[in-house]
Structure 1
Amino acid sequence: MNQSIIVLIVDDEGATRQILVKHIPWQQLGVEQVYSAENGMEGLKLARELKPHIIISDIKMPHMNGIEMAKAIRKEQPDNCFVFLSAYADKEYLKTAIQIKATNFIEKPIDLEDITKLMTELIQEIKIRVFKMETNLLEEQLMTKVTLNEEDFVKLVLEAKPSFASNLNYYIAAFKLHVAMPSNEYLAYQEILTYNFPKESCIKSMDRVGILFLIVKGGEKWSQFKEKIQSVVSQMVEINKEGLIFISIINQSVRLSDLQEACEFVREGINRCFFEKENQVYVVQAAQPAYEVEHELFDTFEHELKEGREHELMMLLHTLYNQFEHSNGTSINYVKNVYFKLIFYVLQEVESRMLSSKLERREIIHRLNQSETLYRTAGVVKETLRKFFEMVQRAPTEVDDPFYKMHQYLEEHYQEIEFSIKDMANYFNFTQCYLCVMYKKKTGITINQALTQLRIDKAKELLKNPKLKLYDIAYKVGYADGKYFTKVFSKVTGITPKQFRERHWAYEDEI
């Protein structure tokens, strides 16, 4: 790979920037250029100048937060990998980050081993993607110019392959390869294509989003062409059973003058492979109508989850899957967002019952991000639900569970201005140090972070009442100083209490 990987680190804390720049083994990972910025505005400026492959950014920063910066960068550079850092598990921020396709989340204080492992995975994926882009450059130019008019397009084909004639018919297939193997082994796939389709009988070219087009002279029946394509897929799967291959073809041969339109048609078909069975040839047809989920589905899912009704939840997921499976005109981003929302309901319930750790949450979000088919996407949610109910069954009863009692203690005492961890430790007959270490190990956050999040959550509910003054709300959730309450609320949510209240009532008016 000729192009070196560029990493940009954006964080308003100098210590965090220094740790990431100096203590991640970037050179060993194959990264030669690492830059840093101290706020979102500076990060946006550098991103536009450098076009980094990976951006590691804090979420909450002055002038422009990480989410705002990422949205601006995404409009211009849709392929960057974003990794967000955050000291708080704020649901609104995470939901927004999911919508802009964040690659992963790292909670502060950062764990160098965890982030090094994540960087290793991301860099490997980037190397594979860039490797695909750099193969067969001459023929790549052919397909990146499909926006030419018909005359110029045909001329370009004839110049690239003089043996191609306008009076012949051609078959077209498009491949998108999700390869779980080192990039040098990717060549094995190319060899299979070359063996089955010699160069003199076809054009093979890859566009800039990794779709490989195969244009073959129509010297055989279409059914034979389809069988040969399926045989190629089987050979590829045999080499690497973890690989995922999307293939779309047109159900007839086309003339040279129709190649441009046909290439665009099979390109559209690649996206619809998300809804099809894995590693199967998809014959492109007109898209089915899009499916839009009723809001009642989310309410039902949340209710059944809180009630612990596993069978009903699985039936709901089964129905949802069937609806999407027969609606391949639906945007893949929309499908992903629906499943992300369901995942967040599960993760919130896991947290409220203190059943899981932050590492599990990051892993689930990452897997859902990387799911390339409807089947795999729905499978992540199903598996998460099963694990949730397994944890519920293994968990101690509320009477015996000390962490449930600690949660209840916080619920009962969060309004106290002089709340004391020492008093809490004495209540449970623990030393203060042991209580803090045990709580952090079990929940992934400190007691103070849990208390702050609880107070802010309670404040959000109170802010929905327009009759309550801000200083009254501050006092009701344990803050004697209204200005300090506003500062903490803004730090956790990214907006002031006043802005939260205004947005809530604006949303209510829209409904």
Structure 2
Amino acid sequence: MGIVRILVPKADRYIVSFLCSSNRQEPETVRAFTSFLKERITPYCRFFIASGPSVQGMDQAAFSYKSAMSLLSESFYHDYNSILTQTPPAGSLQPAEDPFADFTAALAAQRELEALKAAGNFYNALKNSPPLPEAQVRDRYFRYLNKLDEISLANHISLWKREGIESESIWEDVISCATLGELHDFLCHRIRHYFQSLIFNQSEHPVVFQIKEYIRQNFAVPTLSVLDISQYANRSSSYICTLFKNETGQTINQHLTDYRIKMSKQFLSDPRYRITDISAKVGYSDGNYYSKAFRKIVGLSPSEYREKIL
């Protein structure tokens, strides 16, 4: 067909391909080429292919390239491995409806299918309406996830880690999703996780959950005491000590020590942290006391443990 292909890598993320011919090619030729590329690349990675308009003369090549890049900027609304073209998407001209109230009511009533249905309606409304700016869509999904987190904590379930070097945050999860479909799948996954946790956590006493959550949030405070925890739980010290021991088989101080050592093991796996700094980060003002507590539980000193895992 007399077609010459010029490949240009760009910014480690893009490969620009110009098809040049002395004869004007039919649109079917370009579609066949993009389909061929898709078929060849699919086994190796996730991608988007954007096709700019056919132009006449190399002086117009920049226009075709910019058109293709503009399409790539809208890839958020498409699934991975899609071919993006200038064809306008079919859909309603009405703005997307937001069933947030239905979603909240379903979570509050502990109705999993209704919560997933509301999330699905939200996703479909976004897909079939005039596209919103990507930042607005992320903000809306953050609102849904934040409500899920709020209700899960009210039911003594923590869906996000909130401490240590492996900490998670809702917003970090939102921005880590590259497409609308990925964002929706993540929301549905967390909804299912919440309802599964509801079943598994029914046996845990709510005051025990309060105590564990308070320790997770305050384990780095050196002066953290049973009295502090009892005041937070609005119960007497003797009551929470007896309850926690009966429910978990551990004293509160044993659980606190175990948790501090668990967190210090995470920090020790990162060579950027000095051991003297780690002891303070997990609530020990005395480095020697920290080393003794660590050896008692782990069987190694903090330095020996670090040497072993690194």
TM-score by length of 2: 0.61
What is the deviation of 1:346? 1.9
Counting only pairs closer than 5 Å after superposition, residues 87-106 of structure 1 correspond to structure 2 as: none
- Write the deviation string for residues 465-489 of structure 1: whole angstroms up to 9, x where unpaired: xxxxxxxxxxxxxxxxxxxxxxxxx
425, 430, 438: which one aligns with 2:241: 425
What is the deviation of 1:235? 0.9
Aligned to 2:16, what secondary structure does the other structure show?
A: strand
C-alpha spacing 1:327/1:217, structure 2 compared with 1 (3 Å): farther
Native 8 Å contact 2:96 2:126 kept in 1: no
C-alpha spacing 1:354/1:373, structure 2 compared with 1 (3 Å): same
Aligned partners of 1:439 and 1:422: how far apart in 2?
Answer: 21
Aligned partners of 1:271 and 1:421: how far apart in 2?
Answer: 58
One-letter amino acid of the structure 2 residue matched with residue 425 of structure 1:
C
Native 8 Å contact 2:7 2:18 kept in 1: yes
C-alpha spacing 1:300/1:274, structure 2 compared with 1 (3 Å): same
What is the deviation of 1:319? 1.3
One-letter amino acid of the structure 2 residue matched with residue 255 of structure 1:
Q
What is aligned with 2:37?
232
Counting only pairs closer than 5 Å after superposition, residues 79-118 of structure 1 correspond to structure 2 as: none
C-alpha spacing 1:348/1:314, structure 2 compared with 1 (3 Å): same
**Unpaired runs of 5+ in structure 2?**
215-228, 264-310
What is aligned with 1:201?
4
Count of matched residue pairs: 234
Identity of counterpart residues, as a percentage? 15
1:254 matches 2:55: yes
What is aligned with 1:354?
156
What is the deviation of 1:321? 1.2
C-alpha spacing 1:435/1:213, structure 2 compared with 1 (3 Å): closer
C-alpha spacing 1:374/1:437, structure 2 compared with 1 (3 Å): same
1:221 matches 2:26: yes
Aligned to 1:212, what secondary structure does the other structure show?
A: strand
Q: State the superposition RMSD in angstroms.
A: 3.9
What is aligned with 2:184?
378
One-letter amino acid of the structure 2 residue matched with residue 343 of structure 1:
L
**Unpaired runs of 5+ in structure 1?**
1-197, 445-511
- Write the deviation string for residues 362-414 of structure 1: whole angstroms up to 9, x where unpaired: 28765543222211110011111111111112222xxx423x13357899954
Aligned partners of 2:74 and 2:209: how far apart in 1?
Answer: 46
- Write the deviation string for residues 230-283 of structure 1: whole angstroms up to 9, x where unpaired: 111211112x2xx21111114x52122433333222211112222223212121
Aligned partners of 2:106 and 2:10: how far apart in 1?
Answer: 46
Aligned to 2:7, what secondary structure does the other structure show?
A: strand
C-alpha spacing 1:433/1:375, structure 2 compared with 1 (3 Å): same
77, 83, 91: which one aligns with 1:275: 77
What is the deviation of 1:332? 1.5
What is aligned with 1:330?
132
Aligned partners of 1:282 and 1:205: how far apart in 2?
Answer: 19
382, 385, 395: which one aligns with 2:201: 395
Aligned partners of 1:290 and 1:258: how far apart in 2?
Answer: 36
C-alpha spacing 1:237/1:378, structure 2 compared with 1 (3 Å): same
What is aligned with 2:121?
319
Aligned partners of 1:320 and 1:370: how far apart in 2?
Answer: 20
Native 8 Å contact 2:47 2:81 kept in 1: yes
Aligned partners of 1:290 and 1:206: how far apart in 2?
Answer: 40
TM-score by length of 1: 0.39
One-letter amino acid of the structure 1 residue matched with residue 119 of structure 2:
L
C-alpha spacing 1:290/1:212, structure 2 compared with 1 (3 Å): farther
Native 8 Å contact 1:205 1:214 kept in 2: yes
Aligned to 1:381, what secondary structure does the other structure show?
A: helix
C-alpha spacing 1:352/1:435, structure 2 compared with 1 (3 Å): farther
Native 8 Å contact 1:422 1:432 kept in 2: no
Aligned to 1:308, what secondary structure does the other structure show?
A: coil
Aligned to 1:354, what secondary structure does the other structure show?
A: coil
